[in-house]
A = this chain, B = another copy of it.
Amino acid sequence: MLTKARALAAGQLAKAAGVNLETIRYYETIGLMPAPPRTPGGHRVYDDVHVRRLAFIRRGRELGFSLEEVRALLILNDPRQGSCAEVKDIAAMHLTEVRRKLADLTRLESILAASVASCTSEPLASCPVLDMLEL
């Protein structure tokens, strides 16, 4: 006997995947999550397939992929069609973007740190933070 896929209510799925209930509904409206079957009363009923898909999405989001990138990755992942190169392209593109942001933030950090550090907290006439912005 195969283990039956257990049925989950929306809130349970949310908890299982670490996502807000409203977020699931949102993913459904934009077509990222499939519309699940319902109880006679209209409540959504999910199973393990949904849990895995939602977890996939959440991990993608945590790695900074946009929802559209996640959408593309989901298609490539199911049923692992297309080429690995396509996946690599998306990830590499994203990596480039991450590195760009990293460089920006690093520069930012040193500027802010320097100006905050040289802030003597007393007269506002020559505040290094404001001076930086003033010119």
Contact = CB atoms under 8 A, between A and B. Distances in A.
Interface stretch (A16-24, A38-46, A78-86): A78-86
Size class of the contact patch on chain A: 35 or more
Interface string A37-62: 00000000000000010011001100
Contacts of A113: 95
A127 B102 CA distance: 26
A3 B112 CA distance: 35
Interface in A81-105: 81-85, 87-88, 90-92, 94-95, 98-99, 101-102, 105
Tally of this chain's copies: 2
B127 A87 contact: yes
A67 interface: no
Interface of A: 52, 55-56, 59-60, 63-64, 73, 76-77, 80-85, 87-88, 90-92, 94-95, 98-99, 101-102, 105-106, 108-109, 111-113, 115-116, 119-125, 127, 129-130, 132-135
